[in-house]
């Protein structure tokens, strides 16, 4: 991983840090000198990320969290502060996709589960992170939304609703804390080559790739580099923004190729 930013001494929390985008973000922060709290519901995956960061000469610890549970989120933040003394940066990234079926067939318990894990979790994280950052006089937060937070998706009603919600929540939170030194942005990945996408049927992956003007899946490190930019001083006047990193998938448009 190319080091493009200097986060030396910064305490960084990444949720869903055990896999895919969160692992790439954790590793990129670690390579850029940050002390990384890798939080995940999977201890095995989280520890693998921690080992990868340490093997590259960085500093990291694993923290268990179920982001859909407010008490678990509070315990995660307490653990970060007890272990490292403070919190400077957070990447609220953990998420699940939910069932791929038309809306009328979506079980209501799947609706609730995806809203809890993908949207309410971001509220819980922001609520717990912001007071700690206020003690430092500021901080930076990136929430992982999705291209599905900007456009509709076939058979993806709850995921689309949750990710639109993440973008709205990011804008509102950014306004509440813009003059208090905390910048809050969201990132909108297109189809990224992670276990999340690998779990889909091959014809669906092919369709998603075809719908992407760049004609390929993105790599997790391509999202990580944008997350680091949004958390760095290079983006010091950017807040409430939803940054598309998606090979052009939200451009839509007409015509054929």
Contact call for residues 220 and 20 (beta carbons, < 8 A): yes
Is there binding between residue 19 and ligand NAD (CB under 6 A)?
yes
The interface mask with ligand NAD, positions 141-160, x = CB under 6 A, is ---x-x--------------
Phi and psi of 192, rounded to 5°? Answer: -115, 140
For residues 99 to 118, the per-residue mask of contacts with ligand NAD, x marking binding by CB under 6 A and - elsewhere, is: ------------------x-
| 30 counts as binding ligand NAD under rule CB under 6 A | no
Q: Do residues 70 and 124 lie in contact, with contact meaning Cβ atoms separated by under 8 Å?
A: yes
Choice from 28, 35, 41, 250 touching ligand NAD (CB under 6 A): 41
- From residue 134, alpha-carbon distances to 2, 116, 185 in Å are 31, 26, 17
Phi-psi region of 256 (alpha: psi -120 to 50; beta: other; left: phi over 0): beta
Name the residue with tokens 């456009």: 151
Tell me: does residue 194 bind ligand NAD (CB under 6 A).
yes
Which residue number, 133 or 192, has a Cβ lying nearer to ligand NAD?
Answer: 192
Q: Where are the beta strands (DSSP E) in the chain?
A: 11-15, 35-40, 59-64, 89-92, 139-144, 182-189, 242-245
Query: Distance between CA 217 and CA 219 in Å, rounded?
Result: 7
Cα torsion 13, 15, 19, 23 to 10°: value is -20
Residue 152 sits at φ, ψ, to 5 deg, of -75, 165
> Least CB distance from residue 206 to ligand NAD, whole Å?
14
**165 interacts with ligand NAD by CB under 6 A:** no
16 binds ligand NAD (CB under 6 A): yes
Q: Which stretch binds ligand NAD (CB under 6 A): 77-85, 133-141, 187-195, 224-232?
A: 187-195
Number of residues this chain uses to bind ligand NAD (CB under 6 A)? 29
Task: Report the DSSP beta bridge partners of residue 187.
Answer: 144, 243
Query: Judged by CB under 6 A, does residue 66 bind ligand NAD?
Result: yes
Burial annotation 167-177 (CB, 10 A radius, 16+ → b, else e) = bebbbebbeeb
Residues 67, 114, 161, 231: which binds ligand NAD (CB under 6 A)? 67
Look-up of token digits 């944008």: 226
195 binds ligand NAD (CB under 6 A): yes
Residue 18 or 165 with smaller CB distance to ligand NAD: 18
Distance in Å, CB of 125 to ligand NAD, minimum: 10
Closest separation in Å from C-beta 181 to ligand NAD: 26
State yes or no: is 237 an active-site residue.
no
As measured in angstroms, the least distance from the Cβ of 70 to ligand NAD is: 12
Q: Which of the residues 5, 124, 154, 159 is marked catalytic? A: 159
Catalytic residues: 159
- Interface residues with ligand NAD (CB under 6 A) are 15-16, 18-22, 40-42, 45, 65-68, 93-96, 117, 144, 146, 189, 191-192, 194-197
């Amino acid at each position: 991983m190319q080091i493009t930013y200097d986060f030396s001494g910064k305490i960084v929390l990444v949720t869903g840090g055990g896999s895919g985008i969160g692992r790439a973000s954790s590793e990129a922060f670690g390579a850029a000198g940050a002390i990384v709290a890798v939080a995940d519901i999977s201890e095995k995956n989280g520890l693998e990320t921690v080992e990868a960061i340490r093997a590259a000469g960085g500093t990291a610890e694993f923290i268990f969290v179920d982001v859909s549970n407010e008490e678990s989120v509070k315990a995660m933040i307490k653990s970060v502060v007890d272990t490292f003394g403070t919190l400077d940066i957070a990447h609220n990234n953990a998420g699940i996709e939910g069932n791929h079926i038309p809306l009328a067939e979506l079980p209501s318990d799947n609706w609730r589960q995806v809203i809890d894990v993908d949207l309410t979790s971001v509220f819980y994280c922001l609520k717990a992170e912001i007071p700690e950052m206020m003690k430092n006089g500021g901080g930076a937060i990136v929430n992982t939304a999705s291209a599905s937070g900007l456009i509709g998706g076939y058979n993806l009603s709850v995921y689309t609703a949750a990710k639109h919600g993440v973008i709205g929540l990011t804008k509102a939170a950014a306004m509440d804390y813009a003059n208090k030194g905390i910048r809050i942005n969201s990132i909108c990945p297109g189809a990224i080559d992670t276990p999340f996408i690998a779990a889909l049927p091959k014809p669906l992956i092919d369709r998603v790739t075809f719908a992407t003007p760049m004609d390929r899946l993105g790599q997790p490190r391509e999202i990580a580099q944008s997350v680091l930019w949004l958390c760095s001083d290079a983006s010091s006047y950017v807040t409430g923004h939803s940054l598309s990193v998606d090979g052009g998938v939200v451009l839509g448009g007409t015509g054929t190729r």
